[in-house]
Amino acid sequence: MRDVAVGFGLGFLVAAQLGPMSLFLIRCTLRGGLRAGIAVGAGIAVVDALYAAAGAAGAAPLLAVDALRVGLGLLGAAVLGVLGARTLLTAVRVRARQEVAADVASPVRAFGAALAGTASNPATIASWAAIFAAASVGTGAAAPALVAGVGLGSATWVSALVAGVALGRRALGRRAVRAADVLAGGALVGLAGMLGYRASVDIM
């Protein structure tokens, strides 16, 4: 149980860092409500747990293979770029009052987008490998329990964030929704550019 608690703390603290996918989660909750937000949070937590498991299993050295690293980097940049562009397009439609049904993602679509967006940066496997190495040495915790705790911790944080945003959703107007679209879309496009740049540098 102690090992799960250590993993829980790691997963919670890592997930609590505000980043592009956190902004995307807030945006989807504002647009689609509690169900869409929970779907995005579930997608984020699933990938966090999978990448943590990959890091614990020693998959990080695979990222040292140039062709694999570059290929994953370019693929991740493309996925994030598309996701970000679609989010920014929604902001334009909101401003023009020309929203379409597809702009409010269904829980299934939201879950898929979260999976793709969170998985688009496989370099996090190396980060989790380092975290697990430090946690194992410092606490003697077993990897399976740590991974389970990471998944629970990540899920707890995103659920709390979704609940908070959902509670305040009714009090926010169209401007807040559009601002969330712009912030999330811009952050995703920015991360896509960073990943694409890193991949292009590796090619050279």
Predicted local confidence at residue 160, as pLDDT:
92
Which bin fits 31, alpha (ψ -120 to 50), beta or left (φ > 0)? Answer: alpha
Q: Which two tokens stand for residue 164?
A: 């908070």
Predicted local confidence at residue 159, as pLDDT:
92
Matching residue, tokens 């946690």: 135
Predicted local confidence at residue 62, as pLDDT:
65
Contacts of 11 (CB under 8 A, 6+ apart): 45, 48, 49, 52, 149, 150, 151, 152, 153, 154, 155, 156, 157
Contacts of 64 (CB under 8 A, 6+ apart): none
| pLDDT, block means (10 residues), the chain with 204 residues | 82 82 85 87 88 76 68 74 79 55 66 83 72 65 79 90 84 72 80 75 64
Would you say the pTM of this structure is higher than 0.85?
Answer: no
Whether the Cβ atoms of residue 152 and residue 80 lie closer than 8 Å to each other: no
Predicted local confidence at residue 11, as pLDDT:
84
Predicted local confidence at residue 199, as pLDDT:
66
Task: Delimit the domains of the chain by residue range.
Answer: 2-203
Predicted local confidence at residue 171, as pLDDT:
73
Predicted local confidence at residue 167, as pLDDT:
83
